[in-house]
Every structure is written in structure tokens, then in C-alpha cells.
Amino acid sequence: MSRSIPVTTIGACLLLGTLGALGIAPEARAATLTPTNCNDSGAGSLRAAVTSATSGDTIDLRPLACHRIVLTTGAIMIPQASLTVRGPGYARFAVSGNYSSSVFRHDGTGTLHLRGLTIEQGQHRAEMANGGCIFTAGNFDGNDIHVRHCGAYARLDALGGGIYAAGNITLFYSAVYDNGAKGRSSGGGGLTLGTIVPGTADLVGGDLRMHRSRVFRNVAASGGGLRALGSVDITYSSISDNHARVSSGAMDVFNHGTGTPSRIAYSTISGNTAVNSIGGFNLSPNTSIENSTISGNAAPFIGLGQIIGPGTIVNSTITANVTTTGFDTNCFPGVLTLYGEFHVESSILAGNTCLGGISRDVTGQDTNSGPFPRPPPTVILGSDNLVQNSIFVTLPADTIRNTDAMLGPLADNGGRTLTHRPLSGSPAINRGNNVAGFDVDQRGEGFPRVVGGRADIGAVER
């Protein structure tokens, strides 16, 4: 194993000596450690490199001739406050838990950085199990990584089938898929962030930043794809085909205590399901949905989800979501339930179905029935929207109602995510606005937000 440490100059050495004479401890310089083999343990292994590293160091796997490490003696424990493990790319190097242990368990409260790796086949089993493949007591930062085929299994509570972070999670150009959490209760089949303070009921929110990444085919009781106690900032990403054994197939976002608004932009949330309720998401106040598509999510009760206001939906398309049963014969509360006040601009809420055909695209809170006090009625402000059918919602006067949006299927229409493109003759064409000032539509570069003098309603331009 080689250890590469930057060479100090004579001046730097004199400075260090001076600091030492003054009783001031100099800051340690970060080092790069290079394993020499793909063994589970012993000299030259990744495990040995982690053991000898100090906080801030980088372990570089790129020079290795081998391409896969299979752990046979348990997870690699990382006690350092912060550490970076760098590989040659997710398609070129993997570390496997061999379906017998987690892969990385980080006890430090700094940040665990992973670059250019696939982390796979990890299992963590405990009375309370957090993190099937990756656990950190601090923050997690992943770039060009895949986390797959991992599981957290508990007699009591299981969180984060793929990744668990007590703090924040950042994912860039990455994918988290085919993971699961299972226990008496479980959440965040793909990933979980945020924690409960031990011995208390206090929640500490963790924030998610996800860019050009995918979370798909994960499973948990709630928050099949992800569970965030803090906020989310999701851009140019997709959350799809996740499943909840109870509720919230795509994600649960609680935004507890961080004070940071949530944002979903240039992204697609599709094909998520739940056994009982909320096929898509449960979103907290101060959420903004921008230039995004939400489609094909399904559950017996509230096929898509619920959002607590205030909130914003701008230049987005919400369609083809399905509620398979209804609370009453009018299919209340329908597919999407909004609570409070929302600002909606140039968006489509149409083509969602309930009970096999009744359209309930957006539902507010029924304030006139039941013995208990009700919140204020749902009010939508804004302009240039197409809402096919609503109940218990006050809509802007210029809303296009009771009209088929005439959208194509969810498909690859360009860009990094799937979208619904308006068909020729759609009432959405040239009927929207761009008061938000977007340069491009959901598909990104090369797809202007305004074509033909006026924006189309929805996430993409015809």
C-alpha cells in the first residue's frame, strides 16, 4: 500500500516548527492511500487502507488491476470524521457485501464521500437496522455511484435499504435501485436521511440534494423510494417504480426543523405504487414543483399523494395517476389532495382517474362535513392552467376546465427524463405562460421553454 503525501517546502517546515513552539497544533495534511489488491482484508486491502487513514484522507482504487472487492469478514468500519473513497467509475468497480453484511458503516459525524463505485449486495440485520449497504452517522456525498441489491432487516424498525444518513445526502449522476427495508415498521427503501435523537422523540432533519440521478424499484412500508426528515432539492432526476407496502410509494418528505423549502424541478415521478394509500408522495409545506412530470402513480386511496400548503406548482404536468377505490361514491379525496393555499401557473392537472373512470384531478379539504374542525379551504391562485376536474377547490377564473389535455404517452421525448408531449390539437398548446422565466422546458438544454410566441401549458413544449 502506498501513501502519497504532498511534499512540504522548507518555508512550510519552518512555519510548522514555529507553530509547534507556540503550542499551536498545525492542521494535518490530507493524504492519498492506494490499495494494491482486491482482497477482503490484510496488507494492501481497502479495509487496511481505511484502518490506517486519518480524517480527510482519500483512498484511491483507480490504479487497481482488479475490478471487484467481495467482503467476507463483515462491513468496512469507518471511524474517521470524513473520508473519501474514489473508484474508476460505477461501471468499472464494485464493492459487494456478499449478502452477509453492510459494505460501509461510517461512525464519524463529518461526510463520507464515494466517487466512481458500485456498492451492492449488502445486508444489515439488527433489532433496529439502519443502512443496508451504507450507513453514516454524519453526511453522505455520492457522485457517479450505483447502490443496488441492498437490504435493511429489523425485528423493530428498518430505515434506508440502500443508504442511511443521520445528516444530509447528496447524489450527483448516480442511481439507487432494487433495495429494500423491512421490519415491524420501515421507511426509505432506497435511502433515508435524518434521525431521531436517542432517548427522545425529537427529530433532526436531513436535507437531500439530488441532481441527474435516479431512484427506482425500491421497497419499504412507507417512502418506498426515499424518506427525508428534512427537505429535498431534486433536479433533472427520476423517482420511479418504487413500492410501499403501506403508504407513499415514491417518497415521504417531512421538512422537519431545517427551514429549507423543498424543490422538485426538471424531474419525473412515475409508476410508484402503494398497497394502502398514497401511491406517489407525501410532501410538506413550502414545496415547489417546477417544469416536472408526475405520472402513472397508483394506490387504492389517494393514487398520487398529498401536499400541505403553502406550495407552488409551475409549468408542470400531473396526469395518468390512478386511485383504484374511493372514500365515497364521488371518489373523495381523489388522486391529488392539496391542503391550504397554492400558487399554480401554466400547469396541467388532467387525465387522472378514480374508480376506473371518474376524474378527480385535484381535491381540496371538505370543510363542510364531519364533527371535527377543518382547515381552511383549498385555494389555487395563478393563471393559464388546465384542470380537468376538481372538488372542494377554488380555481382561478381563467382555468381551462372539463377538457381533455390530449397528451401523448409517457415517453422519451428528449432530455434525461420521460415526459408527456402534447398531441397536435391539444388545448395546452400556446395557452400557457412563462412567468417563472425558465429558459428551457423539463427536457433541458436544446428545448426552449417558449416555442411559437407563447409557452404551452405543462412541462414540455410541443
pLDDT value, residue 79: 98
Main-chain phi, psi angles of 120, to 5 degrees: -150, 165
132: left (phi over 0), alpha (psi -120 to 50) or beta: alpha
**Other CB atoms within 10 A of residue 19 CB:** 13
Instruction: Give 286: exposed, middle or buried? Use CB within 10 Å, 0-12, 13-18, 19+.
Output: middle
- Euclidean distance between the first and final Cα of the chain, in Å? 57
pLDDT value, residue 198: 61
Residues of the chain with pLDDT under 50: 1-27, 371-373
Instruction: Give 88: exposed, middle or buried? Use CB within 10 Å, 0-12, 13-18, 19+.
Output: middle
pLDDT value, residue 364: 87
**Other CB atoms within 10 A of residue 2 CB:** 12
Residues 161-176: tens digit of each pLDDT:
999 999 999 999 999 9
Residues 322-379: tens digit of each pLDDT:
998 766 566 767 799 999 999 999 999 999 998 777 777 998 876 555 544 455 678 9
pLDDT value, residue 201: 56
